[in-house]
Amino acid sequence: MAVMVQLGFWQLRRLHTVREDNARVRARLAMPVERIEEVLPDREAAVYRRVWVAGRYDRVSEILLSNRSFRGQPGSHILTPLVLADGRGLVVDRGWIPQDLSGAAEERTRPPVLRPVEVVGVLFPSERKGAFGPTIPPSGRLTTIPRIDVTRIDRQVDYSLAPLYLRLESQTPPQSGDLPVPPGDTAIVPLVVGDAARAVDLCERALQRGVFAQAIRPPTVPEGSSRLRLAAMATHNTAELQWAAAQLGAAARESGASASPRPAPTTTIFDHARAA
């Protein structure tokens, strides 16, 4: 009995922590875009901030983030360091490309050579290794990597990398063609609930069932279009996704919402609940 009571208190503490995390992330994403030089000195405060940065892409040091899917297709994300005016670098997740591209198609996904670009995106910390996640070789030059580890990538470039990476939202001049698919259009699945209070209630009920589905409310989205935002990764298998869908359905029935929320017409960047 004592163990069950302690587990109950742990769940309440966990719920409180997640609510605080959600509020902090929402507040940071709602802040105006700043130059990266203004926010990066405070690493912890810079996480989930939207920033503007200018520089030149280092194509030679580009690396593929493996096992990333888009609409059921296997592929990778392209991680390209952006070299800033002061000589430091910033890893930029430029988005998804499919497997087995032809040489000409692959070349069209490459960034401009020696051409300055301006990018806007959100800063994220390196991805954590899960209990069963693959181990990244500590030495040698990598051309692919199973998760974004800025410290490891830093070992194979000739300049110092910023401790966070940037998930690209926009670029000037823009990338020519349809590839890579911007990161915000890949693994994010928004489910429109409508009412803001109901979205929060459904978020909390889903969390109690072990599923993180962040509630997104006005002013981030228009009135009447509050939604849950889920992040699916290539490491999630079919059984896990089916289980999560069942938990969401049960949470929706408990809250009085429809068990089948309608999908949002568009997606935006955000993946706070990254798989551990």
Q: Which residue did the predictor score with more confidence, 77 or 103?
A: 77
Q: Does residue 231 surpass a pLDDT of 50?
A: yes
Name the most confidently modeled range: 134-138, 185-189, 197-201, 235-239. 134-138
Tokens matching residue 83: 């070299």
Query: What pLDDT was estimated at residue 166?
Result: 96
Task: Give the pLDDT confidence score for residue 265 in this predicted structure.
Answer: 43
What value does the mean pLDDT of the chain take? 80
pLDDT (tens digit, 9 = 90+) per residue, 212-228? 777 888 876 778 888 88
Greatest mean pLDDT among 104-113, 121-130, 145-154: 145-154
pLDDT band at 20 (very low <50, low <70, confident <90, very high): low
What CATH architecture is 187-276?
Alpha-Beta Complex (3.90)
What tens digit of pLDDT does each residue of 48-99 get? 999 999 999 999 999 999 988 887 788 999 999 999 999 999 999 999 999 8
Q: How confident is the model at residue 16 (pLDDT cuts 50, 70, 90)?
A: low
Q: pLDDT digit string (tens) for 162-183?
A: 999 999 988 998 887 788 988 8
Closest CA to 164 of 148, 179, 177, 184: 148
* pLDDT score of 264 more than 50: no
Write the class of the CATH domain 28-177.
Answer: mainly beta
pTM for the structure as a whole: 0.64
pLDDT score at 207: 82
Question: Does the pLDDT value for residue 251 go beyond 60?
Answer: yes
Q: Where are the domains of the chain?
A: 28-177, 187-276
State residue 244's pLDDT score. Answer: 83
